[in-house]
Amino acid sequence: MKKIIIIVILIVVVFLAVLGIVSPVVSFKDKITINANESLKTDDFIKKVTLGNFESKKVDTSKAGKRDVEIKVKSILGITKNYKRSYQVLDNIAPTIEAKGEVVVYQGDTIDLLKDVKVQDNCDKDIKPTLDGSYDLNKVGEYNLKYLAKDTSGNETSLDLKLKVIAKPSPEVARTSKGYAIENRNGVTYINGILIANKTYALPKNYGNGLTKETEAAFYKMQSAAKEDGLNLKIVSGFRSYQDQVIVYNKWVNKDGKSVADTYSARAGHSEHQSGLAMDLNWISKQFETTNEYKWLQANAYKYGFIMRYPKSKQEITGYIYEPWHYRYVGVELAKELYNNGDWITLEEYLGIDSKYK
Ligand SMILES: [Zn+2]
């Protein structure tokens, strides 16, 4: 009796083992090779499963190359075992290029045309795009180029790029209230071609090295003419460098204080004397206007290209008090216009500018 019970127990144990406490028996198909993005399921890997069942699942074929998939097989009693299988995804898909179809660049500028180009592909490697065609950023024109991208399997894509090299727009010209162009050449302001040094417009520190040849020649001509009328003109102060003006201005500030000094002495860089076009004649005093030389200058200076730069009652406009001794060379044509039959027009009024420290 006991023997029979033991035999029955053994039979049950063997039976259960066979039923699947032990792993189910799985056989797989041979090597799987598939094109990218084609449908593949775990089913395609299985030849046969005995005493169990497997999980049917989609397999990723979006990435090219040798890939692995895990296949779960469950025994009848619910014990799961994982099998790893490899498969080969063939890359027959070309990369895609994402880039602007048209790029506009100013002549002479530089640009990295590959910088914002994105390439996507189903292979593992990062694919760098290249540019096909030639162009010249220094030459205005339209260039038809091509972006190229090639993956490791030799699939290639191209994308057209139109490169337009256009002329740089001329910078917006600043104009005075009278419409004259304000031009800055190496830090020097020219308005309608006339060099301007006043409280608004300064000269660069290193500008100037004496009276200009033209100014000097015009003065000598004027001096000779005055001499024929029995009068003696002389330059008391001609060119003053930036450094000279620092000393002059500081001297007056120490004597009269800044706000008073500013009415008759220019801050360094703002003095017309640094331009090489201005000069103080004979007597730096208001009383100069009582002399015959002054009267002669008032009637004749313009004929030689000089203007009285700081006339009476124009302090609000020029920024400086009346200076009967200060003359500025502007050339005969303009001087005649500004002379205005003795009723001097200032450069500020003529050009439509102001003279104020910022
Ligand atoms: Zn002066």
Q: How far is CA 70 from the centre of its chain?
A: 55
Q: Where in the chain is the domain with CATH 2.60.40.10?
A: 96-166
Region 91-119: mean pLDDT is 91
- Note whether 57 and 39 are within 8 A (CB): no
Query: What is d(CA 352, CA 176) in angstroms, rounded to the nearest whole number?
Result: 6
Gap from CA of 186 to ligand 1 centroid (Å) = 24
Checking if the pLDDT of 209 tops 90, the result is yes
Residue labelled with tokens 């998939």:
69
Q: What is the pLDDT of residue 281?
A: 98
For domain 96-166, the CATH class is mainly beta
Query: How many Å lie between the centroid of ligand 1 and the Cα of residue 91?
Result: 85
For ligand 1, the distance from its centroid to the CA atom of residue 40, given in whole angstroms, is 95
In sequence order, which residues have a C-beta less than 8 Å from that of residue 36 and are 6 or more positions away? 61, 62, 63, 64, 89, 90, 91, 92, 93, 122
Q: What's residue 4's pLDDT? A: 84
Section 151-168 average pLDDT: 91
For residue 330, the CA-to-ligand 1 centroid distance in Å is 15
Cα 278 to ligand 1 centroid, rounded to whole Å: 7
Q: Nearest Cα to 308, choosing from 292, 330, 287, 290?
A: 330
Measure 190 CA to ligand 1 centroid, in angstroms. 20
CA–centroid distance, residue 251 to ligand 1 (Å): 15
Residues carrying CATH 3.30.1380.10, the chain: 174-351
Q: What is the pLDDT at residue 22?
A: 62
What are φ and ψ of residue 246, in 5° steps?
A: -60, -45
Among the CATH numbers 3.30.70, 3.30.1330, 3.90.550, 2.60.40, which is that of 2-90?
2.60.40
181 alpha carbon to ligand 1 midpoint, in Å?
26
Residue-wise pLDDT for 215-270, tens only, equals 999 999 999 999 999 999 999 999 999 999 999 999 999 999 999 999 999 999 99
Residue 283 alpha carbon to ligand 1 centre in Å: 11
Lowest-pLDDT range of 24-38, 127-141, 300-314: 24-38
- pLDDT of 20: 52
Ligand 1 centroid to 175 CA: how many Å?
A: 27
Give residue 132's pLDDT.
94
d(CA 284, ligand 1 centre) in Å: 8
Closest CA to 65 of 100, 102, 93: 93
pLDDT above 70 (res 194): yes
CA of 341 to the centre of ligand 1 (A): 23
- What's the pLDDT at 341? 94
Measured CA to CA, the distance from residue 91 to residue 65 in angstroms comes to 7
| Per-residue confidence (pLDDT) for residue 121, from 0 to 100 | 87
Please report, for residues 94, 151, 282, the alpha-carbon distance to residue 155 in angstroms, rounded to integers and kept in the order given: 5, 5, 90
For ligand 1, the distance from its centroid to the CA atom of residue 299, given in whole angstroms, is 19
The confidence band for 21, taking pLDDT boundaries of 50, 70 and 90, is low
- Distance CA(270)–CA(249), nearest Å, equals 11
pLDDT tens-place string over residues 163-174 = 999 988 777 789
Beta carbons within 10 angstroms of residue 132's beta carbon:
11
Gap from CA of 280 to ligand 1 centroid (Å): 5
What distance in Å separates the CA atoms of residue 165 and residue 160, rounded to the nearest whole number? 16
Biggest CA-to-CA distance, the chain: 164
Residues with CB under 5 A from ligand 1 (ion): 280, 326
Residues 56, 140: Cα–Cα separation, whole Å: 62
> At 112, which amino acid appears?
D
pLDDT, position 39: 92
CA distance 53 to 61: 24
Please report which confidence band the pLDDT of residue 205 belongs to, taking 50, 70 and 90 as the band edges.
Answer: very high
**Residue 19: pLDDT over 60:** no
CA 333 – ligand 1 centroid, Å: 22
Contacts of 202 (CB under 8 A, 6+ apart): 269, 270
Tens digit of each residue's pLDDT (9 = 90 or more) over 313-325: 999 999 999 999 9
Q: How far is the CA of 182 from the centre of ligand 1 (A)?
A: 24
Cα dihedral 130, 135, 137, 142 sign: negative
HEC string of the chain equals CHHHHHHHHHHHHHHHHHHHHCCCEEEECCCEEEECCCCCEHHHHEEEEECEEECCCECCCCCCEEEEEEEEEEECCCCEEEEEEEEEEECCCCCEEECCCEEEEECCCCCCCCCCCEEECCCCCCCCCEEECCCCCCCCEEEEEEEEEECCCCCEEEEEEEEEEECCCCCCCEECCCCCEEEEECCEEEECCEECCCCCCCCCCCCCCCCCHHHHHHHHHHHHHHHHCCCCCCEEECCCCHHHHHHHHHHHHHHHCHHHHHHHCCCCCCCHHHHCCEEEECCCCHHHHHCHHHHHHHHHHHHHCEEECCCCCCHHHHCCCCCCCEEEECCHHHHHHHHHHHCCCCHHHHHCCCCCCC
pLDDT at 154: 87
Q: State the distance from the centre of ligand 1 to the C-alpha of 235, rounded, in angstroms.
A: 10
Q: How far is the CA of 279 from the centre of ligand 1 (A)?
A: 6
**What's the CA gap between 73 and 76, in Å, rounded?**
10
Taking the centre of ligand 1 as the mean of its atom positions, its distance from the CA of residue 309, in whole angstroms, is 9
Fold exhibited by the domain 174-351:
Muramoyl-pentapeptide Carboxypeptidase; domain 2 (3.30.1380)
Distance of CA 86 to the CA centre of its chain: 54
